[in-house]
Structure formats: structure tokens, C-alpha cells
Amino acid sequence: MLLNYLKIAWKVLLRRKFFTFISLFGISFTLMILLVVYAIVDHTVGPQRPELHVDRLLFVNRMQLLYKDGGQSNSSLGYAFLDKYVRTLRTPEKVALSENTFSAVTAYIGQQALKFDLKRTDSEFWEVLNFEFLAGRPYTPREVRDAAHVAVINQATSQRYFGTVKGIVGRTIEIDAVRYRVVGIVRDVPLSRIHSYADLWVPITTTTENLRDPDYLGGYEAIVLAHSAADVPQVKEEYFQLIKRIPVPEPNRYSKVNSRAHTLFASLSGNSNDTGPDGEVSVFVRVGLAFGLLFMLLPALNLVNVNVSRTLERASEIGIRKAFGATTGALMRQFLVENILLTLLGGVLGLGLAAGLLVLINESHLLPYSAFSLNGRVCGVALGLALFFGILSGVYPAYKMSKLQAVRVLKGEVAV
């Protein structure tokens, strides 16, 4: 039966090519936009190297101090606070500390100045995250403790500074008049992975800042790796209870401390002035779903009108089928199959258009080192959206046509 429905649907699509073209254009264009947006979001917060185990990662990157007389201070955290309180949490598997963001540095090749982004981290940074090493190794705990001038660089930095990525380990790179020995080369990390991105990484102890400064606020963050995804709520709760117990700094000035361990999505979805357990994720998700639904609803309504016009032309066919005993359910299934086939074809075209648009975005280098692509998750979402789109736009025309009265249709009383 399904095969017969598909054959009829294919013949119908070929019979009215203009309607088919209009429908496919609307479906494929809508899906292309949605898939490109989803591919970018997936590339930013999905499981990608080096944040491969994103379901086990938590980020402590914001703190809020409430003033007694009203107002608040929001910032990333101080290194001494993270080292004393977050590194000693009992439930995580590992905790890594690093600068909250990268800093711009300069290297010179002859008269040419090269700009790079540098980030300082501890040695656990390389154990919590899953960088892909092309050569060499990460710096060790001893090198961090001794503030050794060693560096891990990405392949783009190696190519720009040395002109190659081969045989570079052990050579020296001079950044802001400071010489570092290269101990490892990793594959480029896209800028969208803001917690791990840099052109080169050096030990956190090489900073000129005072790492023993007891100020709760500063320029650092912690990346926390739970033993399993199931342990994430336990880690979040332990940190929340810790924040409730720690002394408030400058009690005459501040009244309360707020900070949370957030998932990757929550850590990126706002400035975290929302100190709830999930940050601003719920607001972000609601706005995103509302925008996506509205974006799909408008072309769906247009497709409903096109479908109603197209199926009204088949009133005589429906009347004859009803006269020979076709049931309402059988007619509805046939029209739904036809519409779902149409939207699946639109979905395939949408995937092709989205792939082409992502290639153009990648070639524009809008985000350094980003390589947006259509992976299995994006294709799965495309299939789901096409089915949803097909059912959303096909139910009403199918119901309307299945309710036509055979006698009126055969007498020609149904207007086309």
C-alpha cells in the first residue's frame, strides 16, 4: 500500500511542476537557514575536540558580588580563589585552571609583525580537554611549577612562524621579546571554543600577575571534568554548597557571593548575571524555539494554501475513489504520504544548500579555524524538521479533502 502511495505521490509531483517547484523552494530555503543555524550551534557547544566530553564538563567562569547598598560586581574569578576552593572539590575527576580569555601578543619575523592569541593554563588543562597533538607533548606539572618558558602552539602558528609543522618541537619561538621552547603542536581550535581556543598556550605561572591575590574576582576560570555525565549534578551541587559556606569578602562592603558551575552551553549563553543553576539557558532555549517555530510556521501556512489548491484539482479523483469505497483514513494517509515525500525531497535539497552555504562561511574565515559541517546530528535534525514540516503543512489539506462528499464532487459542485 505504501509503495502505491509513493508512486501516486511521485506522479502528482511531476504532473504540476510549477506547484512542485514553489513548494520545494519554500521548504528547502527554510530548512537551509535552520540547518545552518543548528550546524553553527552544534559546532560551538556540541562534542567537538578539544571539548570532546562536553556532557562531563562544567565551567566556573563567573562570580557575582552583591553590594550591601544595592548593585553588584560581575567578573571572572581570581586564581587564588579557584586554586583554594575549586581545585579541592571532592566529586570531580579533574579540575583545570586557566586564564578566562586570551591575550594578544606579537612575534617578529624579520620586519614582519605576526599577531597571535596566547592563553596561560596549568598542566591539568591538557588532561581535562582532548587536544589532538600533531607532534610533541603538553607541558608537565613540573614545568608549570617552575614557570618554565615552554609553549604548545597550534599548526597555524607553526606554519606562520616557522613555515612548516614538521621538526618544530624543541625549537624556540619569541613572543613579546620572551623566548619559549616549543614542546608540542596541536591541531587548530576554532575561536567559537572560547574556553580552549588560542594560538599558543604557556604555563600559567609565567604570568606577571600575582597569583596569590586573595581577591575573589580576577581574570581566571576553572574547567571541571566529572567522572561521568551522571555525576554532573553532584559536582554542581557541591560547588553551590561551597559558595554558600565561604566567607563574604569585605563584609562591610558586600552582602553575598553568587557563583555556579555551568555546562558549556550555559557558560556561553549570556554574561551569567543570572546566577540560577542553569544560567540563562532556559531563556535562550525558549527564544530559540519560538524563533524557529515562527520561521517554520510562515512557510508551512503558505504550503498549506498551495496544497489545498493543488488537491482541489483532484476532487474528481477523490469522488471516484470514495464512490468505490475509499475510507477517510485511507485518503488522509495518501495525502500525508504525498506531502511528507515532498518535504523529504525539500529536506534533501535543503541539506545540499546548507552544505554549500557552510562552505562559503568557512572560506570567508568569519571565525578563525572554524570548519562548520553537516555531521550526523545535523542530518538527523534535518530529517526531523522535514517530517515535522510535512506533517504540520499536510494534516489540514488531507483532512479537508478526505471530507469531500462524493456525490457533490461527481456533480461538479466543488469549486476548484
Q: What is the mean pLDDT of each run of 10 residues along the chain (416 residues)?
A: 67 69 78 84 85 93 89 91 94 96 91 94 96 96 96 96 93 94 95 92 95 93 96 95 91 90 82 59 70 71 70 70 74 78 83 88 79 79 77 74 68 58
- What are the DSSP calls for 140-193, one per residue? PHHHHHTT--EEEEEHHHHHHHHS-SSS-TT-EEEETTEEEEEEEEE----TT-
| Helices 328-364, 17-45: crossing angle, 10 deg rounding | 50
Residue 245, SS3 per DSSP: helix
Residue 326, SS3 per DSSP: coil
Q: Give the per-residue pLDDT at 410.
A: 65
CA distance 98 to 221: 6
Judge contact between 202 and 180, C-beta under 8 A: yes
Q: Give the per-residue pLDDT at 370.
A: 77
CA distance 59 to 402: 55
C-alpha to C-alpha distances, 303 to 29, 70, 289, 397, nearest whole angstrom: 13, 54, 21, 10
Please tell me what DSSP assigns to residue 51.
Answer: B
Return the residue matching grid coordinates 580537554. 129
Global pTM reads 0.77
The grid cell for 113 is 609583525
Judge contact between 289 and 37, C-beta under 8 A: no
Task: Identify residue 278 by its one-letter amino acid code.
Answer: D
